[in-house]
Amino acid sequence: MTLTTKQKQELKAKAHHLDPQIQIGKNGVTPEQIQTIKTHLKTHELIKIKFNDYKKQKTELSNQITTETESEQVDLIGNTLIIYKKHTQ
């Protein structure tokens, strides 16, 4: 599933008021963090992830996160990644 520009705009507006739920720190993206991200996506669908470290690699790490969690990247603003995964019934 690929998000349209309009869908991304709507999701960005919804995410504006959200606080980052995951912090990427000195350990980078670990399997435990991927599992935590998956859990948050099941609960919330739309989440923010903050890069405290690895800021220069945030694009590559964002791709890794979306691939491993089977989610869609809504936006990467500054050091904050917004991702979305629709609930499956």
Listed by start position, the domains of the chain span 5-84
Distance, CA of 7 to CA of 12 (rounded, Å): 9
- Angstrom distances, CA of residue 86 to CA of 53, 76, 83: 28, 19, 10
Say if residues 88 and 73 touch (Cβ distance below 8 Å).
no
From the candidate CATH numbers 3.40.50.970, 3.30.110.60, 3.40.50.300, 3.90.79.10, the one assigned to the domain spanning 5-84: 3.30.110.60
pLDDT digits (tens, 9 = 90+) for 27-54: 889 999 999 999 999 999 999 999 998 8
pTM of the model: 0.92
pLDDT digits (tens, 9 = 90+) for 68-85: 999 999 999 999 999 999
